Amino acid sequence: MARAWKWVTGALMTASILLAFTYSPVATRPRFEGGQTTMVPWPEFRIFFFHVPSAWIATLGFLVAMIWSIRYLKTRDPKQDDVALASSELGFVFCAVALASGMIWARREWGAFWNWDPRQNTVLILLLIYGGYFTLRSAIADEDKRRRIVAVYSIFAFVTVPFLVFVVPRVMETLHPSPIIKTDQQSGVMNAKMRQVFYLFLLSYTALYVWILNIRVRVERLSRANVVDLQAQEVA
C-alpha cells in the first residue's frame, strides 16, 4: 500500500471536517408557529455527516468480513482470515461510533437516547453480531478450527442483515407506529452543497477504513510470522 495513502486519508478527513463547518451551509428546517412556517437554523444536523457514513462503513466492514470468510473457507489460507478479523474489528468500532452519534442525535432531537427506532435497532443488532463473532473467536483454542468456525458464523450472520435493514422495519412499523421522523426525510433537507460535503465524508471514511484495515492486517500477519520464527528457533 502506497505510503501516500495515509496522507490522502488525512487530507480527505481534514477537508471534510473543515468544509462541514465552513462550506456547507447550516441546515434549516421548518418550524410551525402560530399559523406561520419559518425556516430556522438547525446546526445539530451536522452530526449527520459523521453518523451516517459510520453506519455505512459498519455495514461495509461486515460485508468485507463475510466475503473474506468465504474466501477462507475455500482456500484455508490464514491470510484471508486476517482480513476478515481486521474488517470485523473495524466494523465493530464504526458501529459503536454510529450508535453513539445516533444516540446523541436522538437525545437532542427527540429527548431520549433510545427510541426503539428501527434504524437504531439495526445498528444495535449489528453490534451484537460483531460481539458474537469476537466471543466465538475467543472460545475456540485451536487456530485452524477457530478460523474455520468463525468464518462460517460470519457468513451465516450476514444473511440477517438484508432482513434487518429492509424487512424488519416494515413489520415493526405496524408494531410500534412511531412519530419519529425517519432519516430519509433528513436527506431531503440537504441542498447541493451539503450533499457534496456528505459524499466527501463518505469518501473520507472509506479511505480511513481502508488505511486502518491495511495496517491491522499487516500487524496480524507479522505477529503470526514471529510466532512461527520463534518456534523454528526453539527447535533448532
Nearest distance, CB of residue 225 and another protein, angstroms? 11
The DSSP annotation for 151-192 comes to HHHHHHHHTHHHIIIIIHHHHHHHHS---PPPHHHHHHH--H
Residue closer to another protein, measured from CB, 44 or 144: 144
| Closest separation in Å from C-beta 62 to another protein | 12
Interface with another protein in residues 53-112 (CB under 8 A): 73
d(CA 224, CA 79): 10
How many angstroms separate the Cα of 77 from the Cα of each of 36, 70, 172, 186? 65, 11, 41, 44
Quote the least distance from Cβ 212 to another protein, whole Å.
25
Q: Please work out, in degrees rounded to the nearest 5, the angle formed at the alpha carbon of residue 232 by the alpha carbons of 229 and 235.
A: 155
Q: For residues 9 and 147, which CB has a smaller minimum distance to another protein in the complex? A: 147
First to last CA, the chain: 35
**43 vs 131, beta carbon nearer another protein:** 131
Within 123-182, the residues that bind another protein by CB under 8 A are 125, 128-129, 131-132, 135-136, 139-145, 148-149, 151-153, 155-157, 159-160, 163-164, 167-168, 170-172, 174-175
* Beta carbons within 8 Å of 114's beta carbon, 6+ residues apart: 103, 106, 120
- Judged by beta carbon, residue 29 or residue 176, the one nearer another protein is 176
Size of the residue set binding another protein (CB under 8 A): 38
Q: Which amino acid is at 74?
A: K
Helix spans in 45-77 (H): 47-75
Cβ proximity to another protein: between 2 and 228 the closer is 228
- Interface characters, 16-55, with another protein (x: CB under 8 A): ----------------------------------------
The Cα 87–Cα 67 span in angstroms is: 10
Binding site for another protein (CB under 8 A): 73, 121, 125, 128-129, 131-132, 135-136, 139-145, 148-149, 151-153, 155-157, 159-160, 163-164, 167-168, 170-172, 174-175, 227-228, 231
